[in-house]
Amino acid sequence: EAGVAQSPRYKIIEKRQSVAFWCNPISGHATLYWYQQILGQGPKLLIQFQNNGVVDDSQLPKDRFSAERLKGVDSTLKIQPAKLEDSAVYLCASSYSTGGETQYFGPGTRLLVL
């Protein structure tokens, strides 16, 4: 069974530029998550989708971050414009459903904003 796929693996941009990350969850997983992991910290949820609907985006900085999950499968996370403090690893995860289901993580995208 294929795992969670993410691209790109690394990205370097200058502040005020825009960037987009892509995630393909495990086949059949209805729930998809985007986490931000700043160096030295545990991951923090940015947004959670159930199929193509948003379940929780309370921690998403909506003035610069946006995310979508068209057709309830792949998802993209965009940052526009990027700030220095957005430098982090962006992790995508998926689970079969909610209610304590185990989340499976992708390899992450490491973003450096200069």
Partner 1 sequence: AQTVTQSQPEMSVQEAETVTLSCTYDTSENNYYLFWYKQPPSRQMILVIRQEAYKQQNATENRFSVNFQKAAKSFSLKISDSQLGDTAMYFCAFTFRTGANNLFFGTGTRLTVIP
> What SS3 class is residue 22?
strand
Q: Which of 45, 61, 72, 87 binds partner 1 (CB under 8 A)?
A: 45
Binding to partner 1, residues 87-106 (CB under 8 A): 89, 91, 93, 95, 97-106
Taking the C-alpha atoms of residue 36 and residue 20, their distance in angstroms, rounded to an integer, is: 14
In the complex, least distance from residue 77 CB atom to partner 1, rounded to whole angstroms: 16
Is 85 a binding residue for partner 1 by CB under 8 A? The answer is no
Taking the C-alpha atoms of residue 85 and residue 88, their distance in angstroms, rounded to an integer, is: 8
Taking the C-alpha atoms of residue 33 and residue 20, their distance in angstroms, rounded to an integer, is: 15
Give the binding range for partner 1 (CB under 8 A) out of 11-19, 43-51, 60-68, 69-77.
43-51
